[in-house]
A = this chain, B = another copy of it.
Amino acid sequence: MSDMYANPEIETMPREALQALQLERLQKAVKWAGEKSSFYQDAFAKAGVSAADIQALSDIRKLPFVTPLDLRSHDVYDRLTLPLSGVLRFSYQEQPAGEFLQLYTSGDVAHNVEMMLRGLVAAGVNRTSVVGVQGDLSDSRLLDVQYALEMLGAAVVPLGTDYRRWFRLMDCVSMDAVVSTPQLIMQLVIQLQAVGKDIAAYPLRMLFSLNDMGLQNLLQRHVVQRSHARVYNFFAPPALGMAGALFSCPAQQGQHVQEDYWYPEVIAFGTDTPVEDGQMGELVLTSLMAEALPLIRFRTGQAVSLCSDPCACGRTFVRAMTPLQGI
């Protein structure tokens, strides 16, 4: 079973120890953001809170929320916690919702790669796997996947964005898995159909979907029906700047929150009030280890309930259940 975890110590940590780790990291994260980023300095001052107010995890509720609109209406450099010389990587995404510039320290990259590694290992990717990476690697989220796969020693097939290259490589390399976005996976299925080929004829067993649309992969059923592959969803909205804050395990009963890196809350829709344990509401995420661009109490707009019951996969990370879970 231990080869099913990239980091068994963290992934199966007893919840009390995990919560102690979270509190310690939350205190540091709030201090770091409040001292180093003018955006959070202002926001905390306006709310009359500071790092000293965080004595328990529940004290996070004293902190103000950050919404997607807040991110769009402030320059990214206002949120940045360090001089540009401390930035290792830039990334720019253009999305229907607007443009997103992300900045990463070397620590941020290492954490993001670690999160991807856990999600890939959870699904069964290992050094014998052959994995296609579909899309534009100048998207930092996909580059983290590339790094994680090479760290695992899996054979990586960079597929790019050109469907002729997809065909050529699928015909000459037998791939176990493809990592992609829901949009590109559907495009692959459709382009194959257009030339009289069938994705189900290829030995694909796993499809990893870096889902920038949300926690629910609405294309999942189509893709599963057509490919016979298992689809693993990674929550990858551009505002988070990374994929895999939540990831699917083989039990596929909700998505695990990487709680050592992200603290999850659920808030009643349209309010600032936390819901009762296990009730449905809006997922709010706080980065616990982000260096360049912390996100404190970010309202994701995603409808979830949190479940901390033991998972069949053995992970103690809480699971986010979506309204259509299991459908």
CB pair B89–A155 under 8 Å, yes or no, is yes
Which of A91-99, A114-122, A236-244, A250-258 contacts the other chain?
A91-99
Q: Is the interface of A mostly helix, strand, loop or mixed?
A: mixed
Q: Which of A106, A137, A143, A153 has the most CB of B within 10 A?
A: A137
A137 CB, min distance to chain B CBs, angstroms:
3
Q: Is the CB of A140 within 8 A of B128?
A: no
Stoichiometry, copies per complex:
2
| C-alpha gap A87/B94 in the complex (Å) | 34
Beyond A137-B143, A143-B146, A146-B143, whether A158 also contacts B91 by CB under 8 A is yes
Is A312 part of the contact surface with B, judged by Cβ < 8 Å?
no
A6 within 8 A of B: no
Which candidate, A22-30, A165-173, A318-326, is the interface stretch facing chain B? A165-173
Interface: A109 (CB within 8 A): yes
Known contacts A101-B172, A136-B160: does B165 contact A92 (CB below 8 Å)?
yes
Q: Are B88 and A156 in contact (CB under 8 A)?
A: yes
- Which residue of chain B is the closest to A93 with respect to CB atoms? B165
A92:B168 contact, CB within 8 angstroms:
yes
User: CB distance A90 to B157 under 8 Å?
Assistant: yes
Within the assembled complex, what's the spacing in Å between the Cα atoms of A160 and B150? 21
- Cα A173 to Cα B137 in complex, Å, equals 19
A84 interface residue (CB < 8 Å to B): yes
Is A273 close to B, CB under 8 A?
no
Cβ contacts under 8 Å, A89 to chain B:
150, 155-158
Q: How far apart sit A95 and B153, CA to CA, in the bound complex (Å)? A: 29
Q: What are the interface flags for A107-142 relative to B under an 8 Å C-beta threshold, 1 for contact and 0 otherwise? A: 001000000000000000000101001001111100
Closest to A154 in B: B88
User: A153, B90: Cβ atoms under 8 Å?
Assistant: no
Interchain CB contact (< 8 A) of A140 among B84, B85, B94, B158: B158
Question: B-facing mask of A10-40, CB < 8 A → 1, else 0?
Answer: 0000000000000000000000000000000
CB distance from A132 to the nearest CB of B (A): 9
Q: What residues of B have a CB within 8 angstroms of the CB of A90 in the complex?
A: 155-158, 169, 173
A159 within 8 A of B: yes
Annotate A159-193 by CB proximity to B: 1 below 8 A, 0 otherwise: 11100110011001110000000000000000000
From B87, B130, B155, give the contact of A155 (CB < 8 A).
B87
Interfacial chain B residues near A84, Cβ < 8 Å: 130, 155, 173-174
If A136-B136, A140-B158, A158-B138 touch, does A153 touch B88 (CB 8 Å cutoff)?
Answer: yes
**Complex Cα gap A159–B138 (Å):** 7
The 3 closest A-B pairs by CB, nearest first: A137-B137, A138-B158, A138-B160
